[in-house]
Amino acid sequence: MWRPNRRKEVDDGVGSTDRTTPDKDVWVACMVAVRDARDEAAFARLFEHFAPRVKAFLIRSGAEATLAEECAQETMVTLWHKAHLFDPGRASVATWIFTIARNRRIDALRRQKRPEPEDLPWGPEPEPDQADALALQQESEHLGAALAALPDKQRVLIEKAYFGDLTHSEIAAETGLPLGTIKSRIRLALDRLRHAMK
Amino acid sequence: MTMQDINHHLTDPLLMAYAAGTLPEAFSLTVATHVSMCDECRARLGAFESLGGAVLDRTGSVAMSADSLGATLARIREGNGQAERPAPRRRDDVLPAPLHDYVGGGLDSVRWRPIGMGVKQAILPTSRDATARLLYIPAGAAVPDHGHRGTELTLVLQGAFVDESDRYGRGDIEVAGEDMQHMPVADIGADCICLAATDAPLRFRGMIPRLAQPFLRI
């Protein structure tokens, strides 16, 4: 069984952009270049970093390697075509790619539709607020660090929930889930919503 | 949607499972509908999706096949020009966009079927691992007394209902677990419309409703 690597990022030789502490701003800049300039070099950097991670995520979620490869490619195609919807004030690049890969998994592995909430009336902004974007990216890094710092048992529970190894009632039955790790991320999102709705 | 005065929210496990994409479709529909009405749960959902991004970030990597990037760029070029700008989603005063999508129109398009005592239902087309139905309960009427084997989510879209535990108005969601035996009663002020999702058939306490169950698909 494939197991997530804990300490060290695996550089599989696909690209040289991997680094132990990736600078998240680089990925936002690449997304903006893809979105605004249809920049294929920026797309290639995103591909080299994220496609192997999406593939690993899908294999860990139960996909065969061929299907995982196919879905990872489709995820990156969707990233290109929906780049205009990316808003760095609302999600990190990793989070945004996660939601695309998740939807591919529901479609391809579970063969179900995914009902999505209504979009907010303020939608993605052409000129996102720099302070919002920066706060969001920093908060995403804090969340990643908090996840990495959890005791193995708790972290594995969270990972299992996202890989689809736990149903919602199993999640509800687990008392070891450290949901406090996301509290400050929730506060930030609420502040931003209230600010935008004013 | 406009800000609502919502007092009953989604639980963390439901939001986490929706963010992870592992809920049955009928439950996802209910979560998406509540989030459309509730800013607090929208913010919480955003945080659970961030957690998914953090999990993706640390999952490690598996090499893509040899000319994967080239193949992906070729697919992108094929798809260029047929840029997808989907039509704006529709909703009405009672049905938020996700429900409007599943009904295939507004409230007047719902195909209600009577299930007795003035109560009507309409089952929505979802995968079979759980069932989503719209319920129409006349003001002051009761939904037959029932318990659950699984989980039942009840989201109020119009009017209000009260049961043994509390009062639920528009946007409020009740999450009922295994052993809950309850009898929701529509508030006397107005007819109540709810979205109810169950992952196991309901159990009614009386003999006749139980016999009728297979026909009514309750």
Chain-centroid distance of CA B36 in Å reads 11
| Interface contact A67, partner B, CB < 8 A | no
Structural domain includes residue A7: no
Looking at residue B187, its pLDDT comes to 82
Domain ranges, residue A36: 24-197
Looking at residue B206, its pLDDT comes to 47
Q: Which residues of A104-119 are buried (b: 16+ CB within 10 A; e: fewer)?
A: bbbeebbebbbbbbbe
Looking at residue B192, its pLDDT comes to 93
Average pLDDT over residues B20-38: 96
Structural domain includes residue A64: yes
| pLDDT higher than threshold 70 for residue A126 | no
| pLDDT higher than threshold 60 for residue B170 | yes
The alpha carbon of residue A28 is apart from the nearest alpha carbon of chain B, in Å, by 14
The alpha carbon of residue B145 is apart from the nearest alpha carbon of chain A, in Å, by 24
Q: How far apart are CA A95 and CA B176, in angstroms?
A: 31
Q: How many separate domains does chain B show?
A: 1
Whether A43 sits inside 8 A of B25 (CB atoms) is no
Query: How would DSSP label each residue in A68-115?
Result: HHHHHHHHHHHHHHTGGG--TTT--HHHHHHHHHHHHHHHHTS-----
Composition of chain B by helix, strand, coil, percent to 5: 35, 20, 45
Read off the pTM.
0.86
Q: Are A193 and B43 in contact (CB under 8 A)?
A: yes
Q: How many separate domains does chain A show?
A: 1
Structural domain includes residue A3: no
Whether A91 sits inside 8 A of B49 (CB atoms) is yes
pLDDT digits (tens, 9 = 90+) for B176-201: 876 666 677 888 888 999 999 998 76
The alpha carbon of residue B9 is apart from the nearest alpha carbon of chain A, in Å, by 14
Chain A hits for B96, CB-CB cut-off 8 Å, are 117-118
- Burial (CB < 10 A; 0-12, 13-18, 19+), residue A131, is exposed
| Helix H or strand E encompassing B114 | strand B113-116
Chain-centroid distance of CA A141 in Å reads 12
Looking at residue A190, its pLDDT comes to 75
Q: How far apart are CA A102 and CA A78, in angstroms?
A: 12
Q: How far apart are CA A97 and CA A79, in angstroms?
A: 7
Structural domain includes residue A38: yes
| pLDDT higher than threshold 50 for residue B7 | yes
Q: What is the CATH number of the domain that holds A120?
A: 1.10.1740.10
When pLDDT is cut at 50, 70 and 90, the band that residue A191 belongs to is: confident
| Interface contact A162, partner B, CB < 8 A | yes
Structural domain includes residue A4: no
Give me Rg for the CA atoms of chain A.
17
Q: Are B184 and B153 in contact (CB under 8 A)?
A: no
When pLDDT is cut at 50, 70 and 90, the band that residue A1 belongs to is: very low
| Interface contact A10, partner B, CB < 8 A | yes
Average pLDDT over residues B36-45: 92
Sign of the dihedral through C-alpha A36, A34, A67, B68:
positive
Looking at residue A127, its pLDDT comes to 60
The 3-state DSSP class for residue B128 equals coil
| Helix H or strand E encompassing A26 | helix A24-37
Higher pLDDT, A112 or B6: B6
> What's the DSSP call for residue A125?
-
Chain-centroid distance of CA B78 in Å reads 36
Structural domain includes residue A16: no
| pLDDT higher than threshold 80 for residue B215 | no
* % of residues, chain B, pLDDT over 70: 82
CB atoms within 10 A of CB A37: 10
How many pairs of residues across A and B have Cβ atoms under 8 Å apart? Answer: 236
Least Cα distance to B126 among B98, B168, B161, B166 occurs for B98
**Which range, of A1-10, A121-130, A155-164, averages the lowest pLDDT?**
A1-10
pLDDT digits (tens, 9 = 90+) for A25-48: 899 999 999 999 999 999 999 999
CB atoms within 10 A of CB B9: 17
Looking at residue B147, its pLDDT comes to 59
Q: How far apart are CA B175 and CA A122, in angstroms?
A: 30
Average pLDDT over residues B122-151: 83
Looking at residue B208, its pLDDT comes to 45
Q: Are A132 and B89 in contact (CB under 8 A)?
A: no
Domain ranges, residue B177: 1-218
Give me Rg for the CA atoms of chain B.
20
Looking at residue B85, its pLDDT comes to 66
**Which range, of A146-150, B150-154, B180-184, B189-193, averages the lowest pLDDT?**
B180-184
pLDDT digits (tens, 9 = 90+) for A69-82: 999 999 999 999 99
Q: How far apart are CA A22 and CA A49, in angstroms?
A: 10
| pLDDT higher than threshold 50 for residue A14 | no
What is the average pLDDT score of chain A? 81
Q: Residue for token digits 């909430």?
A: A117
Q: How far apart are CA B148 and CA B184, in angstroms?
A: 13
Higher pLDDT, A144 or A20: A144
Looking at residue B194, its pLDDT comes to 94
The alpha carbon of residue B116 is apart from the nearest alpha carbon of chain A, in Å, by 30
Structure tokens given for B6: 């919502």
Chain-centroid distance of CA B54 in Å reads 26
Q: What is the CATH number of the domain that holds B86?
A: 2.60.120.10
Q: How far apart are CA B38 and CA A62, in angstroms?
A: 33
